[in-house]
Amino acid sequence: MTAAALVERDFAVPDIRCAGCIAKLEQGLVRDRRIASARVNFTEKRVHLSCLPDAEMPDLIGAFTTLGFEAHPIGDALGDADPAAAGSRELLRAVAVAGFAMMNIMLLSVSVWSGATGATRDLFHWLSAMIALPTIAYAGRPFFRSAWRALRHRQTNMDVPISIGVLLASALSLYETATHGPHAYFDGAVMLLFFLLCGRWLDSVMRDRARGGITALLRNMGTGAMVLGDNGKTRWIDATALEPGMVMLVAAGERLAADGAVVRGSSRLDLSLLTGESAPQSVRPDDRVHAGTLNLDAPVEVKVSAVGADTALADIARLMGEAAQGKSHYVRIADRAARLYAPAVHALALLAFVGWMIVGAGWHHSLLIAVAVLIITCPCALGLAVPAAQIVAAGELMRVGVLVKDGSALERLAEVDRAMIDKTGTLTLGRPEARDLERLDPHVQSLALALAQASRHPLSEALTRGLQVLDVSRADVHTIRETPGFGVEAKWGDRVVTLGRPSDPIEGDALATQLSIDGALVATIRFADRLRPDARAAIDALRSDGIDVSILSGDRAAAVAPVARELGMTAQTGMSPQDKLAALARQSVTHKVLMIGDGLNDGPALAAGHASMAPGSASDVGKNASDCIFLGDRLMPIVATLRMARRTQAIVRQNFALAIGYNVIAVPLAFLGYVTPLVAALAMSGSSLLVVGNAMRLKRAIR
Amino acid sequence: MNGLAVLIPIALGLGLLGLAAFFWSLRRGQFDDLDGAALRIFVEDEEETSP
pLDDT at A246 exceeding the cut of 70: yes
pLDDT for residue A80: 44
3-state helix, strand and coil shares in percent for chain B, rounded to the nearest 5: 65, 0, 35
- In terms of Cβ atoms closer than 10 Å to its own Cβ (0-12, 13-18, 19+), residue A703 is exposed
Which of the residue ranges A530-544, A609-623, A676-690 has the most confident prediction, judged by mean pLDDT?
Answer: A530-544
Contact A26 B43 (CB under 8 A): yes
pLDDT for residue A100: 92
CA dist., res. A627 & res. A616, Å (int): 12
pLDDT band at A429 (very low <50, low <70, confident <90, very high): confident
Residues of chain A contacting B19 with CB distance shorter than 8 Å: 96-97, 100
Nearest-10 Cα torsion for B5, B9, B11, B12: 140
Residue window 3-32, chain B: list those with CB within 8 Å of chain A: 4, 8, 11-12, 15-16, 18-19, 22-23, 26, 32
CA dist., res. A638 & res. A627, Å (int): 12
CA dist., res. A537 & res. A540, Å (int): 5
pLDDT tens sequence across A37-95: 888 888 777 888 888 877 777 788 888 888 888 777 765 544 444 666 778 888 999 99
User: Of residues A159, A187, A270, A422, which has the active-site annotation?
Assistant: A422
Among B43, B45, B47, B48, the strongest candidate for a mutation testing the A interface, having the largest count of A CBs within 10 A, is B43
ipTM value: 0.82
Residues of chain B contacting A131 with CB distance shorter than 8 Å: 12
pLDDT for residue A507: 54
> How close does chain A come to B34, measured CA to CA in Å?
7
CA dist., res. A24 & res. A647, Å (int): 41
CA atoms within 13 A on the CB side of A573: 16
CA dist., res. A625 & res. A523, Å (int): 43
Q: Rounded to 5 degrees, what angle do the CA atoms A640, A644, A648 make?
A: 175
Residues of chain A contacting B17 with CB distance shorter than 8 Å: none
pLDDT tens sequence across A648-681: 999 999 988 888 888 888 888 888 888 888 888 8
pLDDT band at B18 (very low <50, low <70, confident <90, very high): very high
Q: Residue A680: what residue type?
A: A
pLDDT for residue B23: 92
pLDDT for residue A540: 92
- In terms of Cβ atoms closer than 10 Å to its own Cβ (0-12, 13-18, 19+), residue A105 is buried
> How close does chain B come to A30, measured CA to CA in Å?
10
pLDDT band at A625 (very low <50, low <70, confident <90, very high): confident
Q: What letters, b where the CB count within 10 A reaches 16 and e where it falls short, cover A458-486?
A: bbbbbbbebbeeeebebbebeeeebeebe
Considering only the beta carbons, identify the residue of B11, B26, B33 that sits closest to A41. B33
pLDDT for residue A420: 93
pLDDT tens sequence across A174-186: 998 998 888 888 9
pLDDT for residue A283: 86
User: Is residue A184 within 8 Å of residue A596, measured between CB atoms?
Assistant: no
Q: Which residue of B has its CA nearest to A131?
A: B12
pLDDT for residue B19: 92
Considering only the beta carbons, identify the residue of A41, A100, A127 that sits closest to B36. A41
- Portion of chain A with pLDDT greater than 90, in percent: 14
Across chain A, mean pLDDT equals: 83
pLDDT for residue A421: 92
Mean pLDDT of A412-417: 91
- Portion of chain A with pLDDT greater than 70, in percent: 92
Residue A422 annotated as catalytic: yes
Contact B36 A26 (CB under 8 A): no
Contact B33 A43 (CB under 8 A): yes
pLDDT band at B50 (very low <50, low <70, confident <90, very high): very low
Considering only the beta carbons, identify the residue of B1, B11, B26 that sits closest to A92. B26
Neighbour count for residue A266 (Cβ, 10 Å):
14
pLDDT for residue A703: 58
Considering only the beta carbons, identify the residue of A42, A43, A100 that sits closest to B18. A100
Please state the three-class secondary structure of A273-294 as a single string.
Answer: HHHCCCCCEEECCCCEECCCCE
Closest CA to A581 of A552, A561, A556: A552
pLDDT at A1 exceeding the cut of 60: no
Neighbour count for residue A354 (Cβ, 10 Å):
12
